[in-house]
Chain A
Amino acid sequence: MSAATTTATTTTNPNATDVRIPLRSHLRHTGALVRRNLLWIRQDPESMFDAILMPIVFTLLFVYVFGGSIGQALGGGQEQYVQYVVPGMMAMMGMSMAMSVGTGFNQDFNTGVMDRFRSLPIGRGSVLFAKIAVELLRMMIATTIMLIVGVLVGFDITDWGGLLAAVALAALFGSALMWVFLTLGVVLKNAQSVQGLGFLVLMPLQFGSSIFAPTDSMPGWLQSFTDVNPLSSLADAARGLMVGGNGPIAQDVWVTVAWSLGLTAVMAPIAIHKFRTKS
């Protein structure tokens, strides 16, 4: 802090400097806001419906609707498809949760409480970090439920270490996507636009990837898209880690990690800046 002394001639001091917020305070603030977001869930348990029902519905839907025919193409049947799609669904969980963090955050902004937070001496990132922490928790719940349903319909967990690695990778990529959607949540006017734009981006990304079906039979132009789609890398990496036997996976893992870090490095500062300067 500057050592300037009081003068009687001006009301502002060009050398005035601000204090820094210590790390301990950052953690305390983020913790307090995580508690707030968890209390929201307790107050409004229906907000967990998506995290609980979506993995059940989608897993059953894909396995029983497409399982037979895609499984045949894979050279087996429905059992074969279960092994294929369950790791792929890990990638989908992250995407869907990321979208909900964006809409939730936008709704938060339309109440006066954000003004109060922003008028408090807290690090601007705390509010966003707390959102991401709680959303990752929801993502873990959704992933656990999806795996349980997966096992019930025949998924074989062969490699627990690989499974944990795949979950960690999906969480890393999911948190990167959350920064993207937090930015949209701050920038866009209402929750409907966030959801609308979210779906528009999500649908082609999810289906134009190797999440639900192998890409070999897709037309060439589409394949060139699915090849660079990070969701394909994440799905292939998770598949390799969880069931193995699909050739080298190192490249998919690194591509996913690179996308995650790259997205976070670009989007996190933008999200925090937009949050800080939103009027």
Chain B
Amino acid sequence: MTRIDKNPDGVSSAVSVRGLVKHYGETKALDGVDLTVREGTVMGVLGPNGAGKTTLVRILSTLLAPTAGQATVAGYDVLRQPRQLRRVIGLTGQYASVDEKLPGWENLYLIGRLLDLPRKEARTRADELLERFSLTEAAKRPAGTYSGGMRRRLDLAASMIGRPSVLFLDEPTTGLDPRTRNEVWDEVKAMVGGGVTVLLTTQYMEEAEQLASELTVVDRGKVIAGGGIEELKAKVGGRTLRVRPTDPLQLRPLAGYLDELGITGLATTTVDSESGTLLVPVLSDEQLTAIVGAITARGVTLASITTELPSLDEVFLSLTGHRASAPQDAVPADDRQEVAV
């Protein structure tokens, strides 16, 4: 078997994408994407709807042929060696891709048989994974009767049957409530502990921070930033301090004052006049303390003060200067999934 998975710098890469392009007529879903995921790491691909995230995952999992460019997964070329590639990947879609009419156990057994496991092994593996994802009690019920979280877990279990070395998670928690989202995160973290390489797409900075070690930010089919999570967070301001002065008239003067002091993060302070709050980027606890001290020293009374992770919108604003609001109809593939949710 031909496996070539060394980069020029000699580091093994599980996913390697060079100049990937996918056009749907006039629409450029992917417009020259380069991406490398090192073995055993979790790469987060962050971007808004229509950025091309799903298109990327569909090309890497051989569901879609690229218009141009190269992509290899575990050393296998997506176009030339799709069968070998399919043997080493797991895929969990934006919507749960399980057979709703089939009981949970049958779903897993079917995938096992399609992966050429002998009957006995397919049975054991189905039992194991149901246990592992706390679905044993629901094993005999049709997957269609499962709750949203259970369905995602079954979907994750299904993608783990073949013990994949590369796992694609396409927006694994989109549409889930916060509690279920935490459940799915825990499962993903446990899987990553097993040494599998993960490429995860998401719209949430928080999700990327929870799961990924490296991040690629995409917008309108292009990579606009990439690097380690910490690095990127530093670039976009790490955390955001949100303060609301009791007197809204203080908003703008306070923003100017803080920028002048130069003690905030790399991005500039922004005024959200709608909610009457000031968004101050901060990089460290020391900085946070200094900012609060400066506000107090100026004699401004605060009605509320919170810290939060920058939202996707803020990340985009600081990286590109525009908001993360690509038109919904930009990418047909992403659109289709929207409907299916």
Contacts and interface: CB of A to CB of B under 8 A. Distances in A.
Interface string A127-155: 00000000000000000000000000000
Contact of A115 (B3, B63, B113): B63
Contacts of B97: 111-113, 115-116
Interface stretch (A28-36, A62-70, A230-238, A260-268): A28-36
The interface size bin for chain B is: 35 or more
Of B10, B13, B16, B84, chain A has the most CB atoms within 10 Å of the CB of B84
A122 B115 CA distance: 8
A35 B115 CA distance: 15
A61 to B, nearest CB: 32
B49 interface: no
A36 B93 CA distance: 21
Contact of B102 (A4, A6, A40, A279): A40
Contacts of B100: 111, 113
A9 B8 contact: yes
Contacts of B4: 4, 6-7, 10-13, 16
A277 interface: yes
Nearest to B158: A116
A28 B99 contact: no
A120 B86 CA distance: 5
B106 A11 contact: no
A10 B3 CA distance: 11
Of B13, B18, B98, B116, chain A has the most CB atoms within 10 Å of the CB of B116
A16 B7 contact: no
B114 A115 contact: no
Interface string A34-46: 0110011001100
Contact of A19 (B63, B83, B110, B142): B83
Interface in B52-71: 58, 61-65, 70
A35 B123 CA distance: 14
A15 interface: yes
The interface size bin for chain A is: 35 or more
A9 B9 CA distance: 9
Contacts of A118: 62-63
B316 to A, nearest CB: 27
Nearest to A31: B113
A29 B333 CA distance: 28
B91 interface: yes
Contacts of A110: 340
A217 interface: no
Interface in A167-224: none
Contact of B2 (A2, A11, A21, A117): A2
B110 A11 contact: no
Contacts of A40: 101-102
A2 B84 CA distance: 13
Given A43-B142, A111-B99, A16 B83 contact: no
Contact of B333 (A1, A4, A9, A279): A279
28 contacts: A1-B1, A2-B2, A7-B4, A11-B18, A11-B70, A11-B72, A13-B4, A16-B4, A17-B80, A18-B81, A18-B83, A29-B113, A32-B110, A36-B106, A39-B102, A40-B101, A111-B97, A112-B93, A112-B96, A112-B340, A116-B98, A116-B158, A118-B63, A119-B62, A119-B63, A119-B86, A120-B115, A122-B114
Interface of A: 1-2, 4, 6-13, 15-19, 21, 25, 28-29, 31-33, 35-36, 39-40, 43-44, 110-113, 115-122, 277, 279
